[in-house]
Structures are given as structure tokens and as C-alpha cells.
Structure 1
Amino acid sequence: MANRIHPTAVIGEGVELGDDNVIGPYTVIVGPTRIGDGNWIGPHVTIGTPGEDRGGPHPVAWESAPAGDPAADGHGVVIGSRNRIREYTSIQQGTWRASALGDDCYVLRGSHIGHDVVVDDQVTLACNVLLGGHTHVWSFANLGMSTVVHQGGSIGPGAMVGMGSAVRREVGAFTITVGNPARATGVNVVGLSRRGLDEAAVEALSPWVKGKGDLPADGLPDDLSTLVKAWDARPRDEH
């Protein structure tokens, strides 16, 4: 299906759109940006403006696209498919890698995805979540309203972060984390059950979630097993 773009929206040079996207009034999207299919992008959204780097360039990107190729030079924005990006959200372009939003995410009103941030698939960012530059949010994470993540942060897969939290360091996979500074308070049992785990499997995985045991050898769905193994094997200095 064709894209539906409101006449007041500004789509700059270097923006590649897939099919069946909705782009609302007064939204500004500048290149280099690549957007997939079936996204709903609300009013007053800003995508692709320069990263908030005091010494970085600030071109008039809505008139001409910045030079360079995101694939080669590591900047720009890449957005997947079937995302819901609500009004007043901002997504900045990267400086050394493309800022990225995966598939099937729900980004609520007023959220900010800073430069060089990577948000994986099926992530929920509630209203006014702020992600500092170079942050990585893994798949299935859910960040509550007005959560703030320090630059270079890492939010593990399936983590639930309570509203108003200030995340200053890494948040573990499938934990429940709240407060200022944010601290893990338990296991995200609901999140694990939504990934197909029964009570026995949740109990078997819980020691690993709490940092007190190894990953179970079996009993996890294939997709979840792949995800948590990737988290377990990640470089600790990835940011």
C-alpha cells in the first residue's frame, strides 16, 4: 500500500520509505534515514536531526541530506517495520553507527532516542523516556514513564524498568528494576511467561536472572534461548 504523508510533514533528501507508512502533521524526517513498512509516525515527530554533540556538524538537513552513506560511515537512522512512534518523539542520527529502532516497537509520547542508540525489536518506551547516546535497549524490554537512561546504558532483554527510574548502569535481562538510582528488585515473571515459559521454566531461569547461577541447559524456547545466550555472551565493554 502507498504511504500516507500529511501535507505539512517535511521529508528531507536522503530519506528512504518503505510501504504503508503513516506520517502525521508537522513531522520532520531528514536523511540519511531508512524506514521500513507499516509504521505509524504521529504528529510533531522529529527523526534524523544531528546528534547532540557540541562539536558535531549541524547541517540544514531538511534542505539537503548530509554527505555520506549510513551503511559505510555509520551515521543516520534506520527504522524497521510496524512500529508505533507517538507524537513529539525525537530520534537523532548516529555519529559512529546508525541510530536504530527495530520492528514492532511502541514509542510513546515525548520519548527521546539519542544519537548512536540501538533499540531492538518489540521494545516499549512509555511517555517521556529519555535514552542517552550510545545506549542499547535489547528486545522485549519495557521502560516505564519518564525513565532516564545514562549515555552508554544497556537494558537487557525483557527487562521491566519502573516509571521515574534513573538508570546509571546496566539493567539485567528479565529483571524488574526501579528507583533512583535504579536497582533490580526481582524477576520479570510476566515477561518470561509472555515468552512462553511455564512456572517450572521460570523457576529454573530465575537464578541466572538474579546473577546467582548459569543458564539452564534446556527448557527454553529456541528464540528466547538464542536471545539470552547472546546477552550472556556480550562484551561487557560494548559501549
Structure 2
Amino acid sequence: MGNLVHPTAIIGPGVELGADTVIGPYAVLTGPLRVGDRTWIGAHAVIGAPPEVRGHEHGLPWGGEPVSAGVEIGADTVLREFTTVHGGTYRATRIGSRCYVMNQVYVGHDGLVEDDATLSGNATLAGHVVLGAGVTLGMSCTVHQRRVVGPGAMVGMGSVVTRDVPPFAKAFGSPARVQGVNEVGMSRGGLGGDDIAALAERYGNEEPTTSWTPPEALRPAWEWWLARTSAG
């Protein structure tokens, strides 16, 4: 179908649009920014604005003065209306492929959101937050800067994440605490009952630490988290 860009949208210098993208009314996209194929960006979205860091130059990014490390958006991702994604300070802020980012979500500078994540309306990610593949964030939850949420985890609506959330956990509260496993998500991801039971036992006994040998099917997600978490 080709790219469909509303005439009121602002596409600044340094923006690279993939094939068959949709850009809605009054969206503002500033470079450096790469948008993957078949990505849908809703009305009033702001993608690529300078990072909100005291002392960081703001410049005129819509006029061709890039002042950030930029943003990368993967293919087949949806960014609904009023989404805001800020450029990075030392690396590109990235949202992966096949993500569904609902209205008024904020992704701060240097954030990394892996593929197939779902961010519900008004979710707020401070700077340097990392979300693993398949994460689900509930409405209006808040993730503190530099926190890591492991692959397949689910964070409940209104929660405040002040420490890292391990893979496939179900976490909620203020501050958020692990409250079991994301059994539905694990099942949909093809993980078996024995794997679910093993992780449920682990999370039921104590707050998860790094000193655990997971079943083989859970090892990739667990190793991903170990490489990024600050949990002890």
C-alpha cells in the first residue's frame, strides 16, 4: 500500500521510514530515527525528542539538528496516540518488532523494549529501562529508571516497579513484588506444565535470586535476565 503519512504530521530530517508505514495526524518524528516496515504510529505521537536529562542540549531536532543517539522501532509494531519515545543519550532507544504500545505510553531515554511486548495505556518507563521479549505492562504502571523486567513477565496495573522483575513472573503492588508466575503467558509461549510448576515453586518459596538452575526450556530467558539484572 506504500507509506500513508497524514499531511499534518512532521517528519524531520534523519527519519527513515520502512515500507507500508502509517503515520497519524499531528505526529512528530525527529531523527535520528529508523521505523520498521508496517509500523503504525497514531495521532499526536512524539518519537525521537531529545532525552529529558538536565544539561542535555535540546537543539532544533525538527530542523535537522540531531541532539540524541536516536530511536529505533522494529517492524509490525503499533504505537498508539500520544505515545512518547525519547532519543537516547549514548545508545538508541529501541522498541522491538511486533510490539503493541497503547495510548499515552512514555518510553524514556536509552530504554530497550524487546520484541512482542505489550505496554498498556499510560505505562511509564523511566530512562534506561529494559523490558524482555513478551513482557506485558498493565495500565498506568510505572517502572523506575534502570530496572529490568524479564522475558514473559506481567506487571499489574498501577504497579510501581522499583526493583528488577524476573522472567515469567506475575508482579504487582506498590512497590511491585513477585506474586507467582505468569501461567497464561507461559502456556501461550509453548512452555509445559512441568516448567510452569518448577518456576511457581521457585517464586513461591522466596524472592527469586540469581542462584537457581532452571529447567532447560527456561534457561534462555533466565540467562537473559542474569546478564542484565542487578538483583542478588
Residue of structure 2 in register with 1:55 after alignment: 55
In 2, Cα distance between equivalents of 1:47 and 1:5: 14
| Shift in Å, 1:201 | 2.7
- Paired residues, number: 226
Contact residue 87 and residue 109 of structure 2 kept, 8 A:
yes
| Shift in Å, 1:59 | 1.0
Residue of structure 1 in register with 2:92 after alignment: 98
1:175 aligns with 2:174: no
- Partner SS for 1:228: helix
In 1, Cα distance between equivalents of 2:119 and 2:228: 25
Distance 1:178 1:22, change over 3 A: same
| Shift in Å, 1:235 | 4.4
1:25 aligns with 2:25: yes
Contact residue 30 and residue 49 of structure 2 kept, 8 A:
yes
Residue of structure 2 in register with 1:191 after alignment: 185
The residue type equivalent to 1:24 in the other structure is G
Two-structure CA RMSD over aligned residues (Å): 1.8
In 1, Cα distance between equivalents of 2:127 and 2:32: 18
In 1, Cα distance between equivalents of 2:104 and 2:228: 31
- Partner SS for 2:62: coil
In 1, Cα distance between equivalents of 2:197 and 2:84: 39
Contact residue 32 and residue 65 of structure 1 kept, 8 A:
no
1:6 aligns with 2:25: no
In 2, Cα distance between equivalents of 1:63 and 1:19: 24
Residue of structure 2 in register with 1:159 after alignment: 153
Contact residue 86 and residue 107 of structure 1 kept, 8 A:
yes
Distance 1:22 1:150, change over 3 A: same
> What are the Cα deviations for residues 113-145 of structure 1, in whole angstroms up to 9, with x where unaligned?
000100000001000000000110111110000
In 1, Cα distance between equivalents of 2:74 and 2:65: 20
In 2, Cα distance between equivalents of 1:214 and 1:27: 46
Contact residue 173 and residue 209 of structure 1 kept, 8 A:
no
The residue type equivalent to 2:176 in the other structure is A
Contact residue 30 and residue 65 of structure 1 kept, 8 A:
no
| Shift in Å, 1:227 | 3.2
Residue of structure 1 in register with 2:213 after alignment: 214
Contact residue 133 and residue 152 of structure 2 kept, 8 A:
yes
| TM-score, with structure 1 as normaliser | 0.89
Residue of structure 2 in register with 1:134 after alignment: 128
Unaligned runs of 5+ in 2: none
In 2, Cα distance between equivalents of 1:145 and 1:22: 25
In 2, Cα distance between equivalents of 1:227 and 1:183: 19
The residue type equivalent to 2:51 in the other structure is G
| Shift in Å, 1:153 | 1.2
Contact residue 51 and residue 93 of structure 1 kept, 8 A:
yes
